[in-house]
Structure 1
Amino acid sequence: MGNSEKPIISFKNVNKVYPNGTQGLKDLNIEIHPGEFVIVVGLSGAGKSTMLRSINRLHEISSGEIVIDGKSITHAKGKNLRLIRRDIGMIFQSFNLIKRSTVLKNVLTGRVAYHSTFKTFFGLFPKEDKELAYESLQRVNLAEKVYARADELSGGQQQRVSIARALAQRPKIFLADEPVASLDPITTEKVMDDLKRINQDLGITIVVNLHSVALAREYGTRIIGLRAGELVFDGPVEEATDETLQAIYGKEIIEAQEEVAQ
């Protein structure tokens, strides 16, 4: 991706200080370009989740500015904020599905931002939305589960339903906050493969938080490393050498991860 293109996400001198005085993010300056697959790595408490959730303003920042596709989400209000958020799909570690609803209904909630509250409250979605929901389920190989209840599915299937829900939103950006933390290795690979395919086929910009260095190396095109809220690495996957990773994680963690891998 050439950097002549306008960034789709810009962090400008972003700081986040919690009420107890802990600095969650420290003077972050980051530009992410359309179509990138960025993986954010770091220890627990390094600020990964805070960074990711500040992109769609689930977390408020203390100072600085975040610009999404040329518009400041930091200063947006009301309808403008809703319109910016509509372009940002979000996938959570805990899936955040409506357990007792069908897969189809869950995916349709991705369309809520496009309609009046009255209509969506009564589940009145146009036919195009249903087609889009079905198409999104096909992309994650779950079309046959369209009428199953969400709580009848395995963890991996639930996570893929949440990917389909985000897809149904037709977003420009996908945020995934530790999307595979509660999944086994085989399911993890399926979910990451889905994200990679969505990135490649649809050109959606993807930002994923991961604990695993191995997964970051396998799937990302670019790695951002945070340590105690500071940016300590930002570059192509090939440049994330063991030395670099030590700067992000500290020596002991790398060795521990390697032992687990063996």
Structure 2
Amino acid sequence: MTNHIISIRDVSKTYDNGTIGLKHINLDIKKGEFVVIVGLSGAGKSTLLRTINRMHSISSGDILVNNHSIINYRGKQLRDLRRNIGMIFQDFNLVKRSTVQRNVLSGRVGYYSTFKSICNLFSTADKRKAVTALQQVNLAEKLYTRADALSGGQQQRVAIARALMQDPKIILADEPIASLDPMTTTAVMNDLKKLNQELGITILVNLHSVSIAKQFADRIVGLRAGELIYDKPINQVQDVDFDEIYQSQESGSEVQR
């Protein structure tokens, strides 16, 4: 047994159209780490994250979560895996016409029958839990506000609260700040860091921004063209390291970042 909450072992992913998503990735994530994955668009960052909760299957290799291989999970095993892994998306993935409360409570649907979740038959305890989750992202006063009345940053923080409702051991955040302004970006990243430090949740975040990565990460992993080409703890990271990660995948020329 190890203290690795996630182990990715020689994982490759080729899509049905022949596009290569990942090439022989080997990566271990310790419990409680805050890991930022950086790279150009198309480098494989989203594919890598989505293999961890089985949103994407893999073509070869193995993925272990809490020392158990997950690649053949089906049915209840897969549902239980996804209960323990919160997912945060770039586009927030909220039901815009529903209230903040209803969106946050949707993080508990894995614990309810389809009938109860559709009919909004959540327990009083879970409704209190939703308030607590919103308090953790400083949005409790928006409980009964419709999601489409919120700013982008507020919507992303609702998405974080929704993920918290799962009592996750891991949170995967796929470009969570891509559409946010700088001030809101800092607020959202501070929320994620707080959950990591205070609740011990292991967090993996895909980012384009080198400066944000350096500010918040315990460790930075770099992908290029589906390959893992960089992996260092933050105290060993230097600015020059990013030149290789952010070279153009086609021409090899350095790009702006």
State the Cα RMSD in Å. 1.1
For structure 1, list consecutive stretches of 5 or more residues without a partner in the other structure.
258-262
Q: For residue 42 of structure 1, what is the amino acid of its counterpart?
A: G
Q: For residue 254 of structure 2, what is the amino acid of its counterpart?
A: E
Higher helix share: 1
Q: Do the aligned partners of 2:170 and 2:202 also contact (CA within 8 Å) in 1?
A: yes
C-alpha distance in 1 between matches for 2:64 and 2:76? 16
Q: For residue 205 of structure 2, what is the amino acid of its counterpart?
A: V
Output aligned runs, 1:1-262, within 5 Å: 5-250=2-247, 252-253=254-255, 256-257=256-257
Structure 1 length normalisation: TM-score? 0.94
C-alpha distance in 2 between matches for 1:73 and 1:107? 27
Report the CA distance between 1:121 and its aligned residue. Answer: 1.4
C-alpha distance in 1 between matches for 2:2 and 2:217? 20
- Cα deviation, 1:13-58, whole Å, max 9, x if unaligned, reads 1000122322110001101011000000000000000001111111
C-alpha distance in 1 between matches for 2:218 and 2:193? 10
For the residue of structure 2 that corresponds to 1:252, the secondary structure is coil
C-alpha distance in 2 between matches for 1:13 and 1:171? 26
Q: For residue 51 of structure 1, what is the amino acid of its counterpart?
A: L
Report the CA distance between 1:239 and its aligned residue. Answer: 2.0
Q: Percent identity?
A: 61
For the residue of structure 2 that corresponds to 1:242, the secondary structure is coil
Structure 2 length normalisation: TM-score? 0.96
C-alpha distance in 2 between matches for 1:223 and 1:53? 18
C-alpha distance in 2 between matches for 1:161 and 1:14? 33
C-alpha distance in 2 between matches for 1:77 and 1:212? 36
Report the CA distance between 1:240 and its aligned residue. Answer: 2.2
- Cα deviation, 1:44-88, whole Å, max 9, x if unaligned, reads 000000001111111111111111112222111110111011100
Report the CA distance between 1:5 and its aligned residue. Answer: 4.3
C-alpha distance in 2 between matches for 1:70 and 1:76? 14
Between 237-246 and 207-216, report the one with greater CA deviation: 237-246
Q: For residue 176 of structure 1, what is the amino acid of its counterpart?
A: A
The aligned length equals: 252
C-alpha distance in 2 between matches for 1:92 and 1:128? 27
Between 56-65 and 198-207, report the one with greater CA deviation: 56-65
Between 180-189 and 238-247, report the one with greater CA deviation: 238-247
Extract structure 1 runs of 4+ deviating beyond 3 A: none
For structure 2, list consecutive stretches of 5 or more residues without a partner in the other structure.
248-252
For the residue of structure 1 that corresponds to 2:93, the secondary structure is coil
